[in-house]
Amino acid sequence: MKRIAVFTSGGDSPGMNACIRAVVRTAVYHGIEVYGIMRGYSGMIKGEFVKLDSASVANTIQKGGTILKSARSQKFQTKEGRQEAFDQLVNHGIDGLVAIGGNGTFTGATIFEQEFGIPTVGAPGTIDNDLYGTDYTIGYDTAVNTALEAIDKIRDTADSHDRCFFVEVMGRDSGYIAIPCAIGGGAEIVMIPETQMSTEAVIETLHSSWKRSKSSFLVVVAEGDEEGNAHGVAQQVKAAIPQLDTRVTIIGHIQRGGAPSAADRMLASQIGIACVEGLMNGMRNVMAGIVDRKLVYTPFTDTINKKKMINQSFMRMVEILSV
């Protein structure tokens, strides 16, 4: 392994730059040349390669986003596009890849390796924390704390005006952000894709609390909940309980940005090192992750296909603590 390349793909997450930094400096430490590929698979096809060294990643560990940019590539989903990407890797003498991203990124890397034999080790870079094979993903801790800070402020105004706020957090397929936000933010209800909580059950809970003279409420809704988004749920609740003063707040993309937390910087650094050393040890088509505080490598097929389950005891915590 004489020359490797690193890229970020899919949605950005706080800590990606810390992971890039760790990859670059680990490669330099082991005497391996390293290139950064701009804009993920799209840049790989177009040949947007930048040679990196230790100075290239100085003063980046504290920055959110990704210095390598990120983009989704429709062309890479075609055989012709992947052939162009492979040709660019050959032209630049790349022996292996470090892919920082999520399921879509690893799916592309799996197909790419099957067709052209380019080994890839992945780093779990997503705020959703929904990847099998690691307890936490890079960016998750920061995203939760960003959302929770906003929820604390919303709770203040909900209490001041006796209102019911429906707060939507990210999580198209996962409630991993919603649950700690609900527990840490003192929410009465949390709605996530993994559990079947009907709008009727939400209405019943809020109406019961209203009759007990509780005057302010907080409902945290993951964007992918089966009952719909926060606006849809709020409209149904307002129709059923007209006397309830309802408001909706969508926290949105601020959850993706900002300086990574200490936990995310540590995780990203540890995994970045593991990715390079995994390539050096002949690993391919695996994701580096931390499970029970131990470094593990999980095959991309497992990461992509196996479901990371929500601890149902957390739902019970929300119910108990909202009394």
**Residues in the annotated binding site for substrate:** 126-128, 163, 170-172, 223, 247, 253-256
Give binding residues as ranges. 11, 21-25, 72-73, 102-105, 126-128, 155, 163, 170-172, 186-188, 212, 214-216, 223, 247, 253-256
Q: Catalytic one among 12, 128, 130, 225?
A: 128
Strands (E), 53-162: 96-101, 120-124
Assign 83 to helix, strand or coil: helix
Partners of residue 222 on adjacent β-strands: 169
What are the distances in angstroms from CA 295 to CA 80, 267, 274, 288?
36, 10, 8, 7
User: Smallest Cα–Cα separation from 118: which of 99, 131, 104?
Assistant: 99
Q: Taking a C-beta distance cutoff of 8 angstroms, is the pair 148, 185 a contact? A: yes
Active site residue 292: no
User: Smallest Cα–Cα separation from 52: which of 69, 29, 36?
Assistant: 36
CB-based contacts of 85: which residues, under 8 Å, 6+ apart?
41, 44, 45, 76, 112
Structure tokens at 11: 């949605």
> What CA–CA distance (Å, rounded) separates 256 from 90?
34
Q: Taking a C-beta distance cutoff of 8 angstroms, is the pair 286, 300 a contact? A: yes
CA angle 135, 63, 37 (to 5 degrees): 80
Please give the positions annotated as active site: 128
